[in-house]
Structure 1
């Protein structure tokens, strides 16, 4: 099948949160829910009072499951509920999840959360249950982003847009020292 990954031209982010809203809508997560499959992390600082604010250079980082090739959450699950599908996506057998939350503790990216509606741990799965299952080749967050900063596709296909962008541009992964081999890339 495929080996899906995602790249972010993160410096283009305008912090509009359209990706978060699209993700929640696509995956049946309540819009007001504090839990999420992806989120925007703001790095930088704001100083001053209401009338005289000063901001350092602020960057917005797109955060979600890093789809690790060596996934700590998969190893930590005591029930075998977590598995890797044919597309290389780390998934969950929902009927086997008993909320031990060992996967949440094991994830160094804080990408898993408790879905209180379905009583399972959850995370981004690149719209595998919805868009990919219908044969679509984009994620909800990717097509909704007004800055078009997300690239999604098959990392094993040398002609895919993500493979081409990763060849052409310098990039990095988060916490490479952990050896999890993330399949999310941040473009410099």
Structure 2
């Protein structure tokens, strides 16, 4: 499993000030709306220092989320095979990560997102900007349908994580990974392939 590479620790106070400012900016403005310049201003540092400690905005966001993996290192392989079978590949990769020690961080993030609106905003931005956008960008999809497909996929992923890892609902909680892939993969694939015209019409 690919893990994100770290940077030099630097001054703890400066790093924490940057992380605090970034956490506020990402939660309030979203990933796209938050800028390195604004985050630096909020932390009282030069923008170059933010880049020095954290690199890119994506890497800073991963640090804010304390993400155990960098989705950017996994998603290219997922979408390389095209849309066919992607539903199963998504579920299999998801379970591989959550069934590993890194899953403990995912459970903590999910619990926090359920109980805290601030954390929920960050988790939503993480799913949208770091995972779903990258998955769908590699596919030939109607841009007008991408947000709806993203939200449907996210609902399946979050629901599966909640039931298997937080509430531990049996028999899903202890089911072998491949059994879950076989059961959930086709649903994920339907969210990628199904005709959503009726749903879009209902939503206006």
Query: Which band: TM-score by shorter chain?
Result: under 0.3
TM-score w.r.t. length of structure 1: 0.25
TM-score w.r.t. length of structure 2: 0.24
Q: As a proportion of its length, which structure holds more strand?
A: 1
Q: As a proportion of its length, which structure holds more helix?
A: 2
